[in-house]
Amino acid sequence: MKKLSFAGAVMFGVTATVSLAHAADHLVVYSALDSVDTATKAFTAKTGIAVDLVRLSTGELLGKVAAEGNNPKFDVLWVEGSAVMHRLADQNILKPEPGLADKVEYTALGKRLVPASQAYFPITVSTTAIAVNTKKTGSAKLPRSWRDLVGFSGTVAAKDPNLSGPAFQWLAGYFAAKGVDAGKQELLGILTNKKLSGIPSGGAVNKSLITGDAAVAIQQDTSIYALIDQKEPISIVYPTEGVVAIPSSAGIARTTQHEQDAKAFVQFLLTKEANTAMEQTDGGDGFFAPLIDGVKGKGARVDNTSSWQVLDDKVASANETEWKQWFRDQFVP
């Protein structure tokens, strides 16, 4: 995902203002996904509703939301990671919208990912997998599981979950699958090189993998498919333990003054038309796994995961601060 400064936020339909306070007739959308560009353009073309779009990295965006507190400046928030959205719903930042997705043609996984609160809605999904630099590993036996990465200790790149919603979703899913204590112990045997274990962004993880500083990486699969599409010597491995679903989710601010337009935007994201537009995105975000029936994944994407683990967002949200601090203490330089 591209990292933009606040001043570099992309705007549609209105000249940017410093405060980005709610304009009388414009919808304000905060997002960390590259695919929001094409989706927003398609939405405005279809509905005529102008949108002020603010794009930042996930960490920066969630920091901005936290700073705004009970007076959010967005109408719609669209980020990856259901655990962080659950926390914002618990904090009454997001407004439940029962029935908003009743007519959506969700896949079976999509239906499982809709929270009981209906305060946010899954739009697309990805997961975390193992990216392998086949030139770096040579004839070595490829890893098949997370546990196999112990054999690659010192050469494993990973993203810091303190700065990434998807990375935290992966960490929470890892602990859910293995148990917290066992999961921590296993990671201590895998992430032994701090130059690689606490990388701040997905782009930097990819760079370490392509240059050969890392032989393998714990990376979001959308990013891996983008590298494969670029003909890099990268292969993807879905661990045999199964994978945690990382839905990109959209929610509406409880304080919005544009509720009907906000609902229309979220509902549009859940259509085949919007999914087709999102697949035109350059880079990793266009390689999402669809949650809408009849939508095929883009290009190189092959959904051969053995199982999708749906995270218990309540547990993950309750432990977010502790688990992030533990990761920072152990693995971030």
pLDDT digits over 282-292, tens only? 889 999 999 99
Q: DSSP readout, 290-333?
A: E-BTTPPPPTT-----S-EEPP-HHHHHHTHHHHHHHHHHHH--
Among the residue ranges 42-46, 245-249, 305-309, the one predicted with the least confidence is 305-309
Number of compact structural domains in the chain:
2
Tell me: do 96 and 217 sit in the same domain: no
Tell me: do 191 and 50 sit in the same domain: no
Q: Which range marks the domain in which residue 206 is found?
A: 128-244+313-331
> Looking at the DSSP assignment, which residues form a beta bridge with residue 237?
130
Residue 229 within a domain: yes
> Residue 12: what pLDDT?
41
Q: Among 23, 76, 9, which Cα is nearest to 265's?
A: 76
> Residue 268: what pLDDT?
98
Residue 1 within a domain: no
Residue 43 within a domain: yes
pLDDT digits over 148-185, tens only? 999 999 999 999 999 999 999 999 999 999 999 999 99
Task: Assess whether pLDDT exceeds 90 at residue 191.
Answer: yes
> Residue 187: what pLDDT?
98
Task: Assess whether pLDDT exceeds 80 at residue 140.
Answer: no
pLDDT digits over 304-328, tens only? 665 789 999 999 999 999 999 999 9
> Residue 305: what pLDDT?
61
